[in-house]
């Protein structure tokens, strides 16, 4: 009888463990956007702990890389790098070095010094810099004014008005970091998104993840749904932070063209797919600024990447590796 009871109890425990295995969801706020974590785990307590660690990691990166938090490393760089070379952490150097590479690759379309003008925009208050302010600050938008010394691990600005903002690369870096954290815990199926940036680990247990691209002019609708596995996806759109100019009626959004210091025109959204968010995030900004023709031509030269562009007329354009739906 005791043997039978023990056997039955063991079977009940195995059954309970199987029932507990499920998808777990967690949301939070960081980096100015909603963070969504989805993962499969056999243990609900461990799943919750892992998801909370992801949110903590995203908030840590926000505190570290925000240009507005006066204790962040980036804030300190912006305050002092125009006076002398500033020693920086190895992770920040890695990000700045990647940003410089993307600037060279895009011939300046991606440029973290856009903030030299961009910081004068206030999207909540609906304020843009005056033409005189923009003209005065535009010479400070040039990625070549940010000098990195790999040996000393320093950064220096060689123009007094240079400011940098990592909004076009930091969230991609962050979702990669979050997925690496989950993978180190043995999790094989997960998705982490931060606004327009997502990183997918594995598949959805035998099925692809279905990831949507927003309709740029109807936030309640999707323009497209993509089946994805083990992929990073980043979308840059003119609908996240914007206001309408009261005089011209033009949409003033946060994706600044480095050549003009104004909101980039001609595209409503640009999505890039690739192996890492650290690449897809800056590339989506690049494609948005270059426009459909030049942006997709760039993507077609990069193995392992694809892109979808919705232009200002609503027409959808695809890179060579993607087939348009019939």
Q: Does 9 reside within a domain?
A: no
Q: What is the DSSP string of 262-295?
A: EE--SEEEEEEEES-HHHHHHHHHHHHHH-HHHH
Q: Are residues 204 and 288 in the same domain?
A: yes
Q: Are residues 309 and 242 in the same domain?
A: yes
Q: Are residues 142 and 282 in the same domain?
A: no
pLDDT of residue 310: 98
Residue 201's region, left for phi above 0, alpha for psi from -120 to 50, else beta, is beta
Q: Does 203 reside within a domain?
A: yes
Q: Does 220 reside within a domain?
A: yes
Q: Are residues 32 and 58 in the same domain?
A: yes
Task: Specify binding-site residues.
Answer: 168, 281, 285
| Number of compact structural domains in the chain | 2
Residue 48 tokens, joined: 């919750």
> Among 157, 184, 208, which residue terminates a domain?
157
pLDDT of residue 247: 87
Q: Does 235 reside within a domain?
A: yes
Task: Specify binding-site residues for Mg(2+).
Answer: 168, 281, 285
The domain of 309 spans 21-66+168-318
| Residue pLDDT tens, the chain, 326 long | 443 434 333 333 334 344 456 999 999 999 999 999 999 999 999 999 999 999 999 999 999 999 999 999 999 999 999 999 999 999 999 999 999 999 999 999 999 999 999 999 999 999 999 999 999 999 999 999 999 999 999 999 999 999 999 999 999 999 999 999 999 999 999 999 999 999 999 999 999 999 999 999 998 999 999 999 999 999 999 998 999 999 889 999 999 999 999 999 999 999 999 999 999 999 999 999 999 999 999 999 999 999 999 999 999 999 999 976 65
pLDDT of residue 326: 54
Q: Does 221 reside within a domain?
A: yes
CATH number at residue 142: 1.10.3980.10
Q: Are residues 245 and 291 in the same domain?
A: yes
pLDDT of residue 11: 34
> Among 91, 123, 157, which residue terminates a domain?
157
Q: Are residues 173 and 61 in the same domain?
A: yes
Residue 140 tokens, joined: 């400070």
Q: Are residues 308 and 202 in the same domain?
A: yes
Q: Tell how strand 218-228 and strand 209-215 pair up.
A: antiparallel
CA 92 to chain centroid, in Å, comes to 16
Q: What is the pTM of this model?
A: 0.92
Q: Does 4 reside within a domain?
A: no
Q: Are residues 29 and 45 in the same domain?
A: yes
Q: Are residues 214 and 298 in the same domain?
A: yes
What span, in angstroms and rounded, lies between the C-alpha atoms of 109 and 23? Answer: 40
pLDDT of residue 24: 97
Q: Does 303 reside within a domain?
A: yes
Q: Are residues 90 and 218 in the same domain?
A: no
Q: Does 175 reside within a domain?
A: yes
Q: Are residues 26 and 60 in the same domain?
A: yes
What span, in angstroms and rounded, lies between the C-alpha atoms of 55 and 143? Answer: 31
CATH number at residue 193: 3.10.520.10
pLDDT of residue 4: 41
Q: Are residues 107 and 212 in the same domain?
A: no
Q: What is the DSSP string of 217-234?
A: TEEEEEEEEEEESS-EEE
pLDDT of residue 219: 85
> Among 95, 126, 157, which residue terminates a domain?
157
């Amino acid at each position: 009888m005791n043997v039978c009871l023990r056997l039955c109890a063991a079977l009940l425990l195995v059954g309970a463990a199987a029932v507990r295995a499920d998808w777990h969801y967690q949301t939070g706020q960081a980096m100015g956007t909603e963070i969504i974590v989805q993962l499969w785990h056999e243990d609900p307590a461990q799943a919750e702990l892992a998801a909370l660690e992801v949110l903590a990691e995203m908030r840590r990166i926000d505190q570290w890389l925000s240009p507005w938090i006066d204790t962040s490393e980036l804030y300190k760089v912006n305050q002092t790098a125009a006076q002398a070379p500033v020693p920086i952490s190895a992770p920040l150097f890695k990000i700045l070095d990647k940003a410089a590479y993307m600037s060279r690759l895009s011939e300046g379309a991606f440029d973290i010094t856009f903030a030299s003008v961009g910081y004068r925009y206030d999207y909540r208050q609906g304020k843009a810099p005056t033409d005189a302010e923009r003209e005065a600050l535009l010479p400070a938008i040039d990625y070549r004014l940010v000098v990195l010394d790999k040996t000393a691990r320093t950064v220096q600005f060689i123009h007094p008005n240079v400011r940098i903002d990592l909004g076009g690369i930091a969230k991609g870096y962050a979702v990669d970091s979050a997925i690496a954290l989950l993978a180190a815990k043995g999790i094989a199926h997960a998705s982490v998104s931060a606004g327009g940036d997502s990183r997918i680990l594995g598949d959805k247990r035998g099925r692809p993840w279905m990831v949507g691209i927003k309709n740029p002019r109807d936030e309640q609708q999707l323009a497209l749904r993509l089946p994805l596995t083990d992929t990073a996806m980043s979308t840059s759109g003119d609908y996240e932070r914007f206001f309408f100019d009261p005089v011209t009626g033009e949409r003033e959004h946060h994706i600044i063209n480095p050549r003009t210091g104004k909101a980039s025109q001609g595209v409503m959204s640009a999505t890039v797919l690739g192996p890492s968010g650290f690449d897809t995030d800056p590339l989506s900004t690049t494609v948005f600024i270059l426009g459909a023709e030049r942006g997709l031509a760039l993507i077609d030269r990069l193995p392992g990447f694809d892109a979808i562009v919705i232009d200002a007329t609503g027409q959808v354009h695809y890179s060579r590796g993607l087939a348009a739906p019939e």
